[in-house]
Amino acid sequence: MKVPFKTDLTGKTAIVTGGSGTLCSAIAYGLAVSGAKIALIGRRLDKLQEVTGDMTAKAEREYGKKVIVKGYSCDVTDKIGLVQVYEIIKRELGSCDILINGAGGNQPGAITSIEALEKEKGVDDYSFWNLDEDRIRDVMNLNYMGTLLPIQVFTKDMVEKRSGSIINIASVTSILPLTKVIAYGNAKSAILNLTQWLAVHLGESGIRCNAIAPGFYAAEQNHKLLYNEERSFTKRAKKIIAGTPMRKFGNPEDLIGAALFLADDEASAFVNGIVLPVDGGYCAYSGV
């Protein structure tokens, strides 16, 4: 996995929630190769151990570097659990300098089966009205509270240091509402607002808060959305490609440069409150 440019994060501690996922593990790898000590947060310790092992081996193989990457099992919606795990991280790696809020996801019961009602009545017309209330709450809780609570817990030491970088993982649906994924889109748009609110609230303190809005990536969690069993594009994938000026899906490593830029206090010293799309031009295209 290629790290696009060199930056020196030696001595920094970076916490990455959702750290065992495809996108955030790529970001964590870029930070680790740049010298940061990495704490990966996820719910499954076995998956975290697999990712940390792969990451350390890859850094040794590709860059000849010994990196510090550790996994910590925790639910990002459990504040007490977050406090407990942070005490362990501080003892082992030090207090947080960089926070990547990547935990998130969607659930079938919070997604409509159709994009929009048509002129003539159809069998799925009540898809929106039949959405599962509990699944909607779960999606909002994971994506919004699962970002807010780690910020409250992991960045408190930044107040004492008067420095730090918070990078939230938003989405193109934070900017342009996507059909079907109502709860996920609502939650991710709240991440955009939270990012800007924190940028103002923390503005004079030396703590910066920005967000990355990934476009469409062929990751494990959305494979069925994008590909049929025979590896051809689904109907929705074809629409996504048609709406992306670069006419392709992103690769996880495409996010590394954006994260390194926002994490580096020198490179982005005066960058605060932005939401940076890494989407192949998706948010710039009107469809015409």
141 pLDDT higher than 90: yes
> pTM (2 decimals)?
0.95
Q: What pLDDT sits at residue 225?
A: 75
Residue 250 DSSP code: B
Q: What is the mean pLDDT of residues 150-158?
A: 97
The pLDDT confidence band at residue 1, using thresholds 50, 70 and 90, is confident
Mean of the per-residue pLDDT values for the chain?
95
- Inter-residue contact 100 to 167 (CB < 8 Å): yes
Task: Tell me, rounded to whole angstroms, the distance of Cα 215 from its chain centroid.
Answer: 11
Helices (H), 108-255: 133-140, 146-154, 156-161, 172-175, 182-201, 223-226, 235-242
266 pLDDT higher than 90: yes
Catalytic residues: 184
The pLDDT confidence band at residue 229, using thresholds 50, 70 and 90, is confident
259 pLDDT higher than 80: yes
Q: What pLDDT sits at residue 30?
A: 97
Beta strands at 37-42 and 69-73: parallel, antiparallel or unpaired: parallel
Percent of the chain scored above 90 by pLDDT?
A: 91
* Cβ neighbour number for residue 53 with a 10 Å cutoff: 12
Report the alpha-carbon distance of residue 50 to residue 260 in Å, rounded. Answer: 24
Residue 14 DSSP code: E
Q: Could you give the domains of the chain? A: 13-215+251-277 (3.40.50.720), 223-249 (no CATH)
